[in-house]
A and B are shown apart, each in its own frame.
Chain A
């Protein structure tokens, strides 16, 4: 089966995704575009609001038991802040919530983020469908782990 196409997995309970901009970055127009697109793609969408700390993002993700955390930053601090989120998740032993990234991320930084398990890392101009497909793929891994079928 093609990745991200196991729709029956999400029939009763859609993909749950947390959108977050941890750190000092107030540009959330893009977040609203994504939130609406994800909702229209049939997902349950949470937005962490402006200026949450990485601790708050992780806390929210655990309380809500989301499938995917979608991080975005436009301020260049992704290597520090995204890493902090990934580290906190690791420290708390969580392996069934996927992390994806996006924003203004230089090509050179993408492999570094991938190494932390943060995938996607799409920049401006990426078609929404590309982002949605990627999230579906990561969500499928996460959900299968949650239900103990992976």
Chain B
């Protein structure tokens, strides 16, 4: 069934699941890039109401299980909630096994929670190219809390930083001592630390390691909490919910944060846009930007040419 961008945008604003699903498909696919962008432009004014919660952390600590429980509790508190989960795609075949859903399956259907799995499509920051757009679509559709699960993240998968209001870094006992906890990267972006699997040996030590290293870090107004979870008995989840809600209201109070987020949004859009344009360049169109013939004749190096071109487009920024 072919629908126009405007029809789909209307459907999104009305909270129609099929319009939401279709829109996410369209923004994921470069074949429908134009329609996808038209949809985003049309709904953008309706965005900005959702609290966006990023859950990140190494593979196997229980991110999907935590999200299953958490989303169900948020729903029970009366808020509309949606989940976006990103799984890694194969660098060899581009295929993927989107396994996050299985861990939360039973709750999703029972509680009417919208969930969408995306594959990372070779994007390396823990999110996929279209995650921003998927978040915007769900935001405009009236979901009050959007939980984004990153790919099982390494120490440097920090894309989530610009997108989420609140970032919970999930860890489990046995991942490392306080030396790990003071490393840079993933450990620095947390607004909340979660230690899952509190029934395991060493869980309290793991909590203490994180707390100790936080005590050494100068903190701003927001005191980063460390929440211990037992995902079988659901112990600790009330505390996690409270921490998330506290942090969301802390972040959204400040207009400064809104501007910072918008900066990240434009930066991401700009990157997508320039990638697109660079890919579309031909010998002929590049000749309009620089004199290729004289460059070749004078053996100008490619960096100098690229710097000149980008300066002429973006101005002289460092």
Residues of A within 8 A of B (CB): 9, 11-14, 35-36, 38-49, 52, 55-56, 59-60, 62-65, 92-96, 145-148
Query: Taking A63-B116, A65-B24, A96-B1 as contacts, is the C-beta distance between A147 and B31 under 8 angstroms?
Result: yes
CB neighbours of B116 from chain A (8 A): 63-64
CA distance A64 to B105 in the complex (A): 13
Would you list 17 pairs from A and B whose C-beta atoms are within 8 A, ordered by A residue?
A11-B31, A39-B93, A39-B95, A41-B95, A42-B94, A43-B95, A44-B89, A44-B98, A52-B105, A63-B17, A63-B21, A63-B108, A63-B116, A64-B101, A65-B21, A65-B24, A145-B2
Whether B93 pairs with A148 at a CB distance below 8 angstroms is: no
Give the size range of B's interface with the partner. 35 or more
* Residues of chain A with a CB closer than 8 A to B28's CB: 12-13
Contacts of A35 in B (CB 8 A): 97
The answer to whether B32 touches A147, judged by C-beta atoms less than 8 angstroms apart, is yes
Query: Is there an interface contact between A64 and B2, defined as CB atoms closer than 8 Å?
Result: no
Within the complex, which residue of B96, B105, B117 is in contact with A39, where a contact is CB–CB below 8 Å? B96
Q: Is B18 in the interface zone, CB < 8 Å from A?
A: yes
B303 at the interface (CB under 8 A from A): no
| Bound CA–CA A16/B205 (angstroms) | 42
| 3 tightest A-B CB contacts, nearest first | A148-B2, A12-B30, A39-B95
On chain B, the residues within 8 Å of A48 by CB distance are 102, 105
Which of A9, A13, A46, A148 is within 8 Å of B101, CB to CB?
A46
Of chain A, the residue at the smallest CB distance from B23 is A65
* Contact of A95 with B22 in the complex, beta carbons under 8 Å: no
Task: Scan residues 15-58 of chain B and give those whose CB is less than 8 A from a CB of chain A.
Answer: 17-18, 21-22, 24-26, 28-32
- Tell me, yes or no, whether B207 is within 8 Å of chain A by CB: no
